[in-house]
Amino acid sequence: MSDKANQKTEYSAEFSRSMQDPEGFWRDQAKQLPWFKFPEQILKTDAQGIGYWFADGEMNTAYMALDHHVENGRGDQLALLYDSPVTDTKTQYTYKQLTECVARTAGMLAKLGVNRGDRVIIYMPMIPEAVIAMLAVARLGAIHSVVFGGFAAPELAVRIDDAKPKVILSASCGIEVKRRIEYKPLLDHALELATHQPDCCVIYQRRESIAPLKAGRDHDWATLLAAAEPVGCTPVKGSDPLYILYTSGTTGKPKGVVRENGGHAVALKYSMSAIYDTAPGEVFFASSDVGWVVGHSYIVYGPLLQGCTTIVYEGKPVMTPDAGALWRLCEEYGVKSLFTAPTAFRAVKKEDPDGALMHRYNLGTLKNIFSAGERLDPPTQEWLMKTSGKPVIDHWWQTETGWAITANPCGIETMPVKLGSSTVPTPGFNVQILNENGQPVPRGVQGYIAIQLPLPPSCLNRIWGDDKRFSQSYLNFFPGYYASGDGGYIDADGYVFVMGRVDDVINVAGHRLSTGEMEEVIANHAAVAECAVIARDDDLKGQVPMGLVVLKGGVTLSEDEVQQQLVSLIRAQIGAITCYKDTVVVARLPKTRSGKTLRNTLSRLVNGKEYTVPSTIDDMAVIPEIADKLRARGFIA
Ligand code: COA
Ligand code: AMP
């Protein structure tokens, strides 16, 4: 039997070793990467059980992802393919070309005073320059914070004030299917709202729109780049942050997840082999956005650390021009692994139920289809497996971890697929289901999904600028464990079923959003006395938010007017990506006697699920009143 065949019987052995000898296990994985100085200290844990990986190693992530490959004969291999149906553009970069662009862009930033440890915000659409910017920041040992282009100015402002960037990199515009998004006015407005001001902004002018620049603050990207000299890689410690990525919590203020260079590189490199079964030279296509964690890990760093070719796709799974778009890319570029969110597959299924468009393309190189971002519903998974004839693999992860907590470890041993399950814990993750007292529950029983500390490499060990919030948000619920915020169960075979969030986070088209944040925005409307935002199940986007609103006395606005104003407000304050559309005006909200709104009961009610009304409710008549209103509006039968 070949070595590979031997390995394929070894998931349980690999997992056990990662549990019994984590230092030895991860030391071996770290050896797969080119360090400047190999770490002596593999893992250090503090009194709370928080893990710190590879702290004293010296390295540079951009070096590992680019220069190293050029030095080892991959210079002429394609590193990045840009495919933009919305601008009708396709470009390609070899590893050598991408390394040169990154080195020069780093030189541009160095001239602007960006040094190791400084923060740079990147607010850009899906163009190669966004990836180049991330790698250029990493090259300097600085810290990038990419803000998703679909967020509105106030969201950007909050991130500017928290990360305090020295420089902001942006572009004149982004291009959506039906409209152009002018980024520059959003950036200008965010800087008016923010207290912190960067030294300068550098704007990439796209040919579709030329943005006016503010003298003394804004620079033209192309002009600065033409005058810049390439610079080398700054060595950093394994524990130095590579990036901060903000994610929704239960409050209005997003959490700045800090990703350290060392653990991140080791975990992603390992995942490219163990989970995605990819080898250097193969093509990996994650259809996401660099503004999300999937984009960071599997458009940018994972594929490049592995010496693969990655794809920057500025388009949608449908409409650009049709539901064959993803398959067209798979054929054209010889994609081996495709990774996107269930919403994208549901959109494709709706437009191409029999796979007629899919079957126009030769999917011979495509080995596996991966899905994450939200639960892959069994009908969609079954449809995709049947129509494509490929394994369709659901895997579960979070911004906080940066890679999959549970997955089908295809590069170690492909496990049989169970519909509705994201398969088994990834080596390194000790996943447990706990009851509300923090006690493990028997197999098959639902509970809170928690991960025993210390977490494996790449997972967060702090929140940017707020040490207490890390413990408060994740560690204090169940001592010794990281609380994932998701609920679910593990079956008799050890398969994990993630059933949904147990907090006020919702998942819209694979995008993580906070209902608490939407409530804060709605509560600021002059006509609103109080409100609750709940998640309504949606056939396409998984979940969409709905507002239940109590108006102040004397307000004369109609329900329709209130709804329109709240839609505009949420789009302006958070962004169109929230997909906030429905508002129901109600006379009262159901509360416990201590004043807590019964959001869970409301959510079950609006989704037609059975619900129980707790005995602590202050007025039994409220729920039937709301049910009547929802029925009258056609939301429930
Ligand atoms: N910048 C600015 N606005 C953006 C944006 C961006 N980068 N991305 C989305 N938006 C806007 C859209 O234009 C839309 O605005 P509208 O309400 O004015 O039309 C709104 O945000 C919602 O966007 P989206 O969810 O993309 O809806 P859509 O109807 O345009 O497309 C799908 C529907 C199914 C094609 C789309 O939701 C999709 O591709 N989903 C998969 C998401 C995904 O890949 N997630 C990966 C996370 S791992
Ligand atoms: P994000 O941090 O944006 O990646 O969102 C993470 C959240 O998305 C998780 O906590 C889950 O609620 C949800 N999620 C991601 N992947 C899956 C999956 N495969 N199955 C179920 N939920 C998922």
Nearest-CA residue for ligand 1 atom 41 is: 344
18: amino acid identity, one letter? S
Pair 520, 477 in one domain: no
Pair 511, 411 in one domain: no
Structural domain boundaries, residue 602 = 505-632
Report the separation in Å between the CA atom of 341 and the middle of ligand 2, taken as the mean of its atom positions: 10
Judged against a pLDDT cut of 70, whether residue 375 lies above it is answered with yes
Does any domain span residue 11?
no
Does any domain span residue 402?
yes
- Probe target for ligand 2 pocket from 507, 508, 541, 577, with the most ligand atoms within 8 Å of CB: 507
Report the separation in Å between the CA atom of 80 and the middle of ligand 2, taken as the mean of its atom positions: 27
**Is the CB of residue 374 below 6 angstroms from any atom belonging to ligand 2?**
yes
Cis peptide leading into residue 241 (ω within 30°):
no
Q: What is the pLDDT, as a whole number, of residue 593?
A: 85
Ligand nearest to the CA of 377: 2
Report the separation in Å between the CA atom of 364 and the middle of ligand 1, taken as the mean of its atom positions: 29
The number of C-alpha atoms within 13 Å of 353 and in the hemisphere containing its C-beta is 2
- Probe target for ligand 2 pocket from 380, 486, 511, with the most ligand atoms within 8 Å of CB: 486
> What's phi and psi for 13, nearest 5 deg?
-65, -40
Q: What is the mean pLDDT of the chain?
A: 95
Question: For the residues 265-279, what does the mean pLDDT come to?
Answer: 98
**Is the CB of residue 421 below 6 angstroms from any atom belonging to ligand 2?**
no
Pair 140, 53 in one domain: yes
Residues in contact with ligand 1 by the CB-under-6-Å rule are 149-150, 174, 176-177, 181, 287-289, 292, 294, 316-318, 340-341, 343-344, 347, 373, 509-510, 540, 576-577, 579
Judged against a pLDDT cut of 80, whether residue 251 lies above it is answered with no
The number of C-alpha atoms within 13 Å of 455 and in the hemisphere containing its C-beta is 27
- b (16+ CB within 10 A) / e for 167-181: bbbbbbbbbbeeeeb
Q: Which atom of ligand 2 is nearest to the CA of 501?
A: 12
CB 203 within 8 A of CB 220: yes
Pair 627, 522 in one domain: yes
Where does the pLDDT of residue 6 fall: very low under 50, low under 70, confident under 90, or very high at 90 and above?
very low
Pair 449, 513 in one domain: no
**Cα dihedral: 345, 308, 22, 479 (round 10):** -40
Pair 422, 477 in one domain: yes
- Residue showing tokens 């079950």: 604
**Is the CB of residue 521 below 6 angstroms from any atom belonging to ligand 2?**
no
Report the separation in Å between the CA atom of 508 and the middle of ligand 1, taken as the mean of its atom positions: 10
**Is the CB of residue 276 below 6 angstroms from any atom belonging to ligand 2?**
no
Judged against a pLDDT cut of 80, whether residue 3 lies above it is answered with no
- Residue showing tokens 């230092």: 23
**Is the CB of residue 396 below 6 angstroms from any atom belonging to ligand 2?**
yes
Question: For the residues 241-252, what does the mean pLDDT come to?
Answer: 88
Render 69-129 in DSSP notation, one character per residue. HIIIIITTSEEEEEEETTTTEEEEEEHHHHHHHHHHHHHHHHHTT--TT-EEEEE--SSHH
Q: Of 580, 581, 576, 575, whose CA–CA distance to 154 is shortest?
A: 575
**Is the CB of residue 498 below 6 angstroms from any atom belonging to ligand 2?**
yes
Q: What is the pLDDT, as a whole number, of residue 495?
A: 97
Does any domain span residue 360?
no
Nearest-CA residue for ligand 1 atom 24 is: 577
Does any domain span residue 333?
no
In this structure, the number of other CB atoms found within 10 A of the CB of residue 633 comes to: 13
Question: For the residues 394-414, what does the mean pLDDT come to?
Answer: 97
**Percent of the chain having pLDDT more than 90?**
93
Pair 549, 433 in one domain: no
Does any domain span residue 601?
yes
Q: What is the pLDDT, as a whole number, of residue 1?
A: 36
Ligand nearest to the CA of 174: 1
Q: Which residue, 423, 453, 484, sits at the end of a domain?
A: 484
Question: For the residues 227-245, what does the mean pLDDT come to?
Answer: 98
Least confident window among 248-252, 316-320, 617-621: 248-252
Q: Which atom of ligand 1 is nearest to the CA of 126?
A: 7
pLDDT in tens, 418-443: 999 999 999 999 999 999 999 999 99
* SS3 state at 585: strand
Pair 294, 222 in one domain: yes
Q: What is the pLDDT, as a whole number, of residue 425?
A: 98
Q: What is the pLDDT, as a whole number, of residue 330?
A: 98
- Report how many domains make up the chain: 2
Q: What is the pLDDT, as a whole number, of residue 255?
A: 94
Pair 169, 273 in one domain: yes
Q: Which residue, 424, 452, 484, sits at the end of a domain?
A: 484
CB 457 within 8 A of CB 439: no
Judged against a pLDDT cut of 90, whether residue 5 lies above it is answered with no
- b (16+ CB within 10 A) / e for 1-16: eeeeeebbeebeebbe
pTM equals: 0.95
CB 528 within 8 A of CB 534: no
Question: For the residues 201-230, what does the mean pLDDT come to?
Answer: 98
Does any domain span residue 328?
no
Nearest-CA residue for ligand 1 atom 44 is: 288
- Probe target for ligand 1 pocket from 123, 155, 156, 316, with the most ligand atoms within 8 Å of CB: 316
As beta bridge partners, residue 243 has 144, 259
**Is the CB of residue 486 below 6 angstroms from any atom belonging to ligand 2?**
yes
Q: Which atom of ligand 2 is nearest to the CA of 507?
A: 8
- Probe target for ligand 2 pocket from 298, 380, 384, 512, with the most ligand atoms within 8 Å of CB: 512
Does any domain span residue 336?
no
CATH number, domain with residue 573:
3.30.300.30
As beta bridge partners, residue 597 has 591
Report the separation in Å between the CA atom of 577 and the middle of ligand 1, taken as the mean of its atom positions: 6
Question: For the residues 252-265, what does the mean pLDDT come to?
Answer: 94
Where does the pLDDT of residue 580 fall: very low under 50, low under 70, confident under 90, or very high at 90 and above?
very high
Pair 130, 222 in one domain: yes
The burial of 101, by beta-carbon neighbours within 10 Å (0-12 exposed, 13-18 middle, 19 or more buried), is given as buried
Judged against a pLDDT cut of 60, whether residue 291 lies above it is answered with yes
Judged against a pLDDT cut of 70, whether residue 4 lies above it is answered with no
Query: Which comes out higher in pLDDT, residue 127 or 611?
Result: 127
CB 324 within 8 A of CB 358: yes
Question: For the residues 469-492, what does the mean pLDDT come to?
Answer: 96
Classify 131 in phi/psi space as left (phi over 0), alpha (psi -120 to 50) or beta. alpha
**Is the CB of residue 296 below 6 angstroms from any atom belonging to ligand 2?**
no
Q: What is the pLDDT, as a whole number, of residue 487?
A: 96
**Is the CB of residue 399 below 6 angstroms from any atom belonging to ligand 2?**
yes
Q: What is the pLDDT, as a whole number, of residue 504?
A: 86
Pair 204, 277 in one domain: yes
CATH number, domain with residue 204:
3.40.50.12780
Q: What is the pLDDT, as a whole number, of residue 617?
A: 82
Pair 461, 555 in one domain: no
Q: What is the pLDDT, as a whole number, of residue 9?
A: 66
Ligand nearest to the CA of 295: 1
Nearest-CA residue for ligand 1 atom 15 is: 576
Distance of CA 402 to CAs 23, 267, 368, 593, Å?
Answer: 20, 9, 20, 40
* SS3 state at 283: strand
Report the separation in Å between the CA atom of 576 and the middle of ligand 1, taken as the mean of its atom positions: 8
Q: Of 375, 372, 373, 480, whose CA–CA distance to 432 is shortest?
A: 480
Does any domain span residue 323?
no
